Structure formats: C-alpha cells, structure tokens
Structure 1
Amino acid sequence: MTPVEVVRASMAAYRAQDLDAASALLASDYVFFSPQDAGIDKATFLERCFPTADRFAEQEVVHVVDLGGGEVFLLYEYVVESGRYRNAEVSRVRDGQLVETQVYFGGRLGS
C-alpha cells in the first residue's frame, strides 16, 4: 500500500471499529500526538483513542496529500452532537504501517 492508502485504510478501520485491521496498520513503535495526548504508544492509543468512533455522526475526508518521504497530510470534517468540526493530521508511514500521527484539532465550523 502507498502511504496515502495506509492512512485511508487506518481511517476506515477506525470508523468500522475494526481493531484487528487498525492494529495491523500500526507499527509496534507507533506514537500518537494530539493536544490531549503527548506521544502515547500503540497500546495506549488503541485503548484510549481508538474506541471513540461512535461519537461521530459522520466523518469525511476533505484533502489527503502525499507529502513525500512517507508523510501524509489529512484534512477531515466530522459531525458530533455539538456541531461540525475540522481536524488536520500529519502521519508518517514506514513499510506499510503508521509509525507516527500528529493530530491538530480545529474549531467548530459554521454558525
């Protein structure tokens, strides 16, 4: 899989809550960063962050760009009870697996 395909497959596994598929896409040394998570490992990510897909009424990719060198930029919108939001991620892929994801939370869209 290309880095973009890995990122898309990871997002699909998250939305489907397919733990086996998600785990296979994450390298053993995977690290996840967000405004709420300061470099957590794969096990912590799968325990804390992965089971949250049910919060989203919908989620759609706005842009996904191969930045080269195994890095992928992803911009997506999602809807939760309080409204529509947009997040950005930069992920690094090595040998068909995610090794790092940095998530940046966006504000509420619209009024």
Structure 2
Amino acid sequence: MAGDDTRREGIVRGLYAAYIDGRKDDAGAMLTEDFSFSSPRDDRIDRIEYFSRCWPEPPPFRDMEIEYLQIAGDEAVVRYRAEKHDGGAFRNMEVLRFRGDKVASVDVYFGRNV
C-alpha cells in the first residue's frame, strides 16, 4: 500500500503543477474519462465542463503551495494556499478520489482569503 500512496502523491502533486502551468493535456492524462468535479459553484460537472470552467487562460494563479496532503486508500485530502497574480491569496481544501492510478473525482471546499 505504501507504493500506491507514494505513486498517488506524485499524481496529486503533478495535477496541481499542471494547473499552475496551464498544461491541460498533462492534467487530462491523470483523470478518468468519467471524471467529475464538484464545488460550491459546480455540481458534479464532467471533465469537458471542468476544463472549460476551471482552467482559464492564462492560468489564474502564480503559485499553489500544498500545505497538507494525506492519502488514505482511494482518497487524497489536500489543503493548499493559492496565490493570485494580483497578489491576493486564499486557502482551499479538496478531496480527490482515485480509481487505479487516475483521479476519478474532485470535491472542493472553499476556504478564506489569507
């Protein structure tokens, strides 16, 4: 199981790095075909809508620092601090669910500005 956790941690970190760099193709390779995304603004949108709504160009943030990452079975819990290009910053929590070595869903819980 430790090997799965290490591999999945790399996938999570890779997904966030791809988001910062705007690398949709790299991110898409990490998601299942039936991927879904939920947040207070989005109710189980599919991967096409996810890339349309949540991956603006240019990328909206200059940095995302993962402050907490815990893998437990098929889930990863992540708390991160995102820094916007205008200098603002906020924290969010997310739960990512895996199916094999791909992310099948993400649930975002919005945080506060910091």
* TM-score bucket of the superposed structures, by smaller chain: 0.7 to 0.9
Q: Which amino acid aligns with 1:34?
A: S
Q: Which amino acid aligns with 1:72?
A: A
Aligned residue in 1 for 2:56: 51
1:69 Cα offset (Å) = 1.9
Matched, 1:93 2:89: no
Aligned residue in 1 for 2:23: 18
1:48 Cα offset (Å) = 1.2
1:12 Cα offset (Å) = 1.1
**TM-score for the superposition, normalised by structure 1:** 0.88
Q: Which of 68, 76, 81 is the aligned partner of 1:77? A: 81
1:31 Cα offset (Å) = 0.6
Aligned residue in 1 for 2:43: 38
1:59 Cα offset (Å) = 1.7
Q: Percent identity?
A: 32
Q: Which of 53, 62, 67 is the aligned partner of 2:67? A: 62
Q: Which amino acid aligns with 2:46?
A: D
- Per-residue CA shift, 1:11-35, capped at 9, x if unaligned? 1111111111111111001010011
CA contact under 8 A between 2:67 and 2:81: conserved in structure 1?
yes
1:75 Cα offset (Å) = 0.5
Q: Distance in 1 between matches of 2:25 and 2:88?
A: 30
**TM-score for the superposition, normalised by structure 2:** 0.86
Task: Spell out structure 1 runs of 4+ moving beyond 6 A.
Answer: none
- Per-residue CA shift, 1:25-67, capped at 9, x if unaligned? 110010100111011001110111122662213221111111x
Rate the CA distance shift 1:86–1:11 in 2: closer, same or farther, 3 A.
same
Give aligned pairs, total. Answer: 108
Give the unaligned 5+ runs of structure 1: none
Aligned residue in 2 for 1:27: 32
